[in-house]
Structure 1
């Protein structure tokens, strides 16, 4: 099923963390510029030569977005997403 860009929401990278309980797992968190919604992507690093790029922004289906309930976290996500949007193109490799 083909989707148009208007079906998707652009979210910006706001956090990159490494899992404590699983080795070689990176958790990428992207958020909307208002900080209201987030998208979490887990990536297992299969080797040091794993060449999958992490981009400044991704386009995701609205149904894949979670709501940010904590107001402090929402403010942090909004600030970082806006900063990323100001200094990067969506497809910039981060």
Structure 2
């Protein structure tokens, strides 16, 4: 039996950006299908041969998921997360 306070939150990839401040830093943004919550992961690429799969979804720790305050951003995240959930299995490489 799992404790509800430690259950993970399924979030789907909604955005992949490259940092302007630091070279070789990829920022992955994942969100819930309702667009109300998001999680970000930063990934430093150490070389051109540094290949790590980015999956369609992750199960995030509840402490690493925050609210999406902006209504337009929430709507955009909801649309993209729902599209990803409809078109991909969580473990699909994107």
TM-score over 0.5 for the pair: yes
Deviation at 1:57, TM superposition (A): 0.2
- TM superposition outliers: structure 1 runs of 4+ over 4 Å: none
Task: Point out where structure 2 has 5 or more consecutive residues left out of the alignment.
Answer: none
The unaligned stretches of length 5 or more in structure 1 are none
- Mapping of residues 47-58 of structure 1, within 5 Å: 47-58=47-58
Paired residues for 1:28-43 under 5 Å: 28-43=28-43
Cα distance in 2, alignment partners of residues 51 and 17 from structure 1: 16
Give the CA RMSD over aligned residues.
1.4
TM-score (norm 1): 0.92
Q: TM-score, normalised by structure 2?
A: 0.92
Aligned-partner Cα distance in 2 for 1:24–1:64:
23
1:70-81 equivalent positions in 2, closer than 5 A: 70-81=70-81
Q: Deviations over 1:17-46 (max 9, x none)?
A: 000010000000000000000000000000
